[in-house]
């Protein structure tokens, strides 16, 4: 049995109840065969065994009191996966579906993503099964304060720096930061995605969506094309989806769809982002309201059809994991889609991503395509360390450099291994190399 097969079998045995984690590990290890099965050094130092086991898992109780004075209890997690190249870095997800397996998959992906940015950040992720939907601002504040009361003892500006993810935006980061500061008495860069008046970086809010579009644009430029005139299907209507849409529109493309957990809208005239921002960022409402404002847009309930049924040139899944399956991939190919760029983490199932690649679609995995968010978080850390803040234009230019750099790094790596255009392989190997070298250099720890 090869080294990779042995590790996959072992991970399957030990984590049978964590399907998303198994999916993420298998995808990465399949790509690494051509590296680790060629050189015994990795097996000799047990590198893969160490890579798939988090350095530390913290799980904790989060008690809080709701507006009816009832005691509620949620489960909190922080998975500190790998700190070989820098302090743990990765978001916090607040969503009822959160469990340890999901946080582990996200933390594992984060290791390679963070490495691809070229910046010194290790991989981590956290979250809770608390559902911010329908909660008052005061309930969210009390929850965040309780969550941080435990988390604070495990994080720090040089050890572990959390940020946002699904269900965690500027409001939540504010409440979390306030509680950290109150507990420790320190004003440090312990979180990213902070407000602009208290240490946040310009362009961090836009960074994930903008970065996704910068990477895809660099690919398009490399084949003599651009976003101009392209019809784009976007899923999600949160932070990543909104700013991806904004940048597509700036570059002359047209986004025609968006989704939330209740369904999707199709607006062939092009999505009106002002309306989306008002519904989603100001009112925290439902996407279906869009169709009551724009009479020529159609809303389809979840269960009655999927966003990937809409014909498009480029698909940008920006909502959540496994939202694009094999049947969707077949529909996309049939409808003439040419590019899929993952704004979300692992939105495409394994079978779907392989089908897309086999059918000539340029497929950009999330660990490369959505790395602009964490990359800009690392720029926020740099600004906090030097106690300066850079202009929007400076940060945006660095973000663009990071994303074009990632495109060329994964493209070159795919060619180096004789698999030109296999960006899954390119991203996994390019991300792995730097972390593996650091682990080799630092001994068996
Ligand atoms: P938000 O909470 O801002 O938005 C999430 C969007 O996805 C909402 O429209 C939400 O709909 C939808 N969604 C979430 N869960 C589900 C689900 N189970 N089924 C259907 N729809 C769902 O999150 P972000 O935009 O920040 O994150 C989106 C994705 O991007 C995630 O995969 C995240 O991990 C990834 N990502 C985020 C980064 C960031 O900087 N924020 C960086 C890199 C990746 P509804 O409102 O109905 O819940
Ligand atoms: O998945 C991700 O990369 C994020 N949610 C952003 C993490 C960060 O630390 O900015």
Which of 320, 343, 378 should be mutated for ligand 1, with most atoms under 8 A from CB?
320
Let me know whether 143 and 220 are in one domain. no
SS (H, E, C) 136-191: CHHHHHHHHHHHHHHHHHHCECCCEEEECECCECHHHHHHHHHHHHHHHCCCCCCC
> Alpha-carbon distance 148 to 184, whole Å?
11
CATH number of the CATH domain containing 83: 3.40.50.10860
Domain identity same for 318 and 352: yes
Atom 4 in ligand 2: which residue has the minimum CA distance? 91
- 274 and 153 in a common domain: no
Separation in Å, CA 324 to CA 309, 320, 332, 350, 380: 11, 9, 10, 10, 32
From atom 2 of ligand 1, which residue's Cα is the shortest distance away? Answer: 166
| 353 and 221 belong to one structural domain | yes
Question: Which token pair is 384?
Answer: 């906090």
Tell me, in angstroms, the distance from the centre of ligand 2 to residue 71's CA.
31
Is residue 132 located within the same domain as residue 221? no
pLDDT at site 132 = 97
Do residues 101 and 75 make contact, with C-beta atoms less than 8 angstroms apart? no
Contact 345, 106 (CB under 8 A): yes
Domain end marker among 187, 221, 247: 187
149-170 pLDDT, tens digit each: 999 999 999 999 999 999 999 9
The structure's pTM equals 0.99
Opening angle at CA 225, ends 220 and 231, nearest 5:
80
Distance CA 307, CA 315 (A): 10
Domain termination site, one of 187, 213, 246: 187
Pair 204, 191: CB distance under 8 Å = no
Tell me what pLDDT residue 117 has.
99
Mutate to test the pocket of ligand 2, among 374, 382, 384 (most ligand atoms within 8 A of CB): 374
Residue 63 domain flag: yes
The closest residue, in CA terms, to atom 9 on ligand 2 is 90
Residues with CB under 6 A from ligand 2: 89-91, 113, 163, 165, 192, 345, 373-374, 377
The CA dihedral of 218, 223, 229, 234, to the nearest 10 degrees, is -50
Distances in whole angstroms, Cα of residue 253 to Cα of each of 28, 222, 240: 32, 17, 17
> Of ligand 1's atoms, which has the minimum distance to the CA of residue 319?
7
Ligand nearest to the CA of 122: 2
User: 276, 264, 266: which is closest to 304 by C-alpha?
Assistant: 264
Residue 115 forms part of a structural domain: yes
User: Relative to the alpha carbon of 189, which ligand is closest?
Assistant: 2
Q: Which residue in 104, 125, 231, 254 is the catalytic one? A: 125
Are 137 and 249 found together in one domain?
Answer: no
pLDDT (0 to 100) of residue 404: 98
In a 10 Å sphere around its CB, with 0-12 CB exposed, 13-18 middle and 19+ buried, how is residue 164 labelled? buried
Distance 166 CA to ligand 2 centre (A): 10
In Å, how far from its chain's centre is CA 359?
Answer: 25
**Nearest atom (ligand 1) to Cα of 262:** 47
Do 141 and 275 fall within a single domain?
no
Nearest alpha-carbon partner for 395 in 383, 404, 387:
383
Cα distance between residue 227 and residue 220, in whole Å = 7
The answer to the question of residue 376 being in a domain is no
**Same-domain check for residues 230 and 183:** no
CATH assignment at residue 347: 3.40.50.720
Q: Is the dihedral of CA 283, 289, 293, 299 positive or negative?
A: positive
- State how far the alpha carbon of 310 is from the alpha carbons of 108, 129, 158, 365, in Å: 32, 32, 45, 21
**Same domain membership, residue 131 and residue 10:** yes
Ligand nearest to the CA of 243: 1
- Answer yes or no: do 81 and 147 share one domain: yes
Residue 115 and residue 59 share a domain: yes
Instruction: List, in sequence order, every residue forming a beta bridge with 79; answer none if it has no partner.
Output: 57, 125
Same domain flag for 14 and 163: yes
Closest C-alpha among 369, 371, 374 to residue 314: 369
* Residue 98 within any structural domain of the chain: yes
Residue 442 confidence (pLDDT): 98
Could you report how far apart the first and last alpha carbons of the chain are, in Å? 26
How many domains does one find in the chain?
2
Whether residue 42 lies inside any domain: the answer is: yes
Domain boundary among 324, 342, 364: 364
Q: Which two tokens stand for residue 260?
A: 């939330």
Which letter does DSSP use for residue 324 in this model? B
Instruction: Decide: 208 in ligand 1 pocket, CB within 6 A.
Output: yes
Q: Are strands 254-260 and 263-266 parallel, antiparallel or unpaired?
A: antiparallel
* 175: containing domain: 3-187
Decide: residue 207, CB within 10 A, 0-12 exposed, 13-18 middle, 19+ buried: buried
Q: Is residue 411 part of a domain?
A: no
Of the residues 20, 95, 115, 165, which should be mutated to test ligand 2's pocket, given the most ligand atoms within 8 Å of the CB? 165
For residue 238 and ligand 1, the question of a CB distance below 6 A is answered with yes
Q: What is the pLDDT of residue 193?
A: 98
Q: Which two three-digit tokens encode residue 118?
A: 């070229």
Pocket test residue of 236, 302, 341, 348 for ligand 1, highest count of atoms within 8 A of CB: 236
Structural domain contains residue 122 = yes
Q: How many Å apart are CA 56 and CA 445, to the nearest integer?
A: 12
pLDDT of residue 259: 98
Round to whole Å and give the CA distance between 441 and 434.
11
What would the pLDDT profile of 337-368 be if each residue is shown by its tens digit?
Answer: 999 999 999 999 999 999 999 999 999 999 99
Give the whole-angstrom CA distance, residue 301 versus residue 290. Answer: 13
pLDDT of residue 124: 99
Ligand 2 centre distance from Cα of residue 39 (Å):
32
Active site residue 283: no
Q: Where are the beta strands (DSSP E) in 43-155?
A: 56-65, 71-82, 88-94, 122-128
The answer to the question of residue 109 being in a domain is yes
Does 341 sit in the ligand 1 pocket, CB within 6 Å?
no
Ligand 1 pocket member 373 (CB < 6 A): yes
- Residue 388 Cα to ligand 1 middle (Å): 30
Q: What is the per-residue pLDDT for 348?
A: 98
Please identify every stretch of the chain with a pLDDT value under 70, giving residue numbers as ranges: none
Say which ligand is closest to the CA of 276: 1
Beta bridge partners of 233: 257, 315
């Amino acid at each position: 049995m090869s080294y990779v097969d042995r590790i996959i079998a072992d991970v399957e045995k030990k984590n049978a109840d964590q399907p998303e984690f198994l999916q993420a590990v298998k995808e990465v290890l399949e790509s690494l065969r051509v590296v680790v099965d060629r050189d015994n050094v990795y097996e000799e130092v047990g590198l893969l065994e160490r890579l798939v086991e988090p350095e530390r898992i913290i799980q904790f109780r989060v008690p809080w009191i709701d507006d009816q004075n009832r005691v509620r209890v949620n489960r909190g997690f922080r998975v500190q996966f790998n700190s070989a190249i820098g302090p743990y870095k990765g978001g916090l997800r607040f969503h009822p579906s959160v469990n340890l397996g999901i946080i582990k998959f996200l933390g594992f992906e984060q290791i390679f993503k963070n490495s691809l940015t070229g910046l010194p950040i290790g991989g981590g992720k956290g979250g809770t099964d608390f559902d911010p939907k329908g909660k008052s601002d005061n309930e969210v504040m009390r929850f965040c304060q309780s969550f941080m009361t435990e988390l604070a003892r495990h994080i720090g500006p040089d050890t572990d720096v959390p940020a946002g993810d699904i269900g965690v935006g500027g409001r939540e980061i504010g409440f979390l930061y306030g509680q950290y500061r109150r507990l420790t008495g320190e004003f440090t860069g312990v979180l990213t995605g902070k407000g602009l008046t208290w240490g946040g970086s310009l362009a961090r809010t836009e960074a994930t969506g903008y970065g996704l579009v910068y990477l895809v644009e660099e690919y398009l430029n490399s084949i003599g094309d651009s976003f101009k005139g392209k019809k784009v299907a976007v899923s999600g209507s949160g932070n990543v989806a909104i700013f991806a849409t904004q940048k597509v529109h700036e570059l002359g493309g047209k986004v025609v769809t968006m989704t939330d957990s209740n369904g999707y809208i199709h607006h062939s005239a092009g999505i009106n982002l002002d309306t989306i921002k008002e519904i989603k960022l100001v009112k925290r409402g439902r996407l279906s309201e869009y169709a009551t404002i724009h009479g020529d847009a159609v809303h389809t309930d979840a269960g009655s059809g999927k966003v990937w049924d809409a014909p498009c040139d480029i698909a940008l899944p920006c909502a959540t994991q496994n939202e694009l399956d094999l049947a969707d991939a077949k529909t996309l190919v049939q409808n003439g889609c040419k590019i899929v760029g993952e704004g979300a983490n692992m939105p495409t199932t394994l079978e779907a991503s392989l089908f897309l690649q086999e059918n000539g679609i340029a497929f950009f995995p999330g660990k490369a395509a959505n790395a602009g968010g964490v990359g800009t978080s690392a720029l926020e850390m740099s600004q906090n360390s030097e106690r300066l803040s850079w202009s929007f234009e400076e940060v945006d230019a660095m973000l663009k450099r990071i994303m074009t750099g990632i495109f060329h790094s994964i493209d070159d790596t795919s060619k180096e291994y004789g698999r030109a255009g296999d960006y899954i392989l390119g991203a996994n190997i390019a991300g792995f190399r730097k972390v593996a070298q650091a682990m080799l250099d630092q001994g068996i720890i």
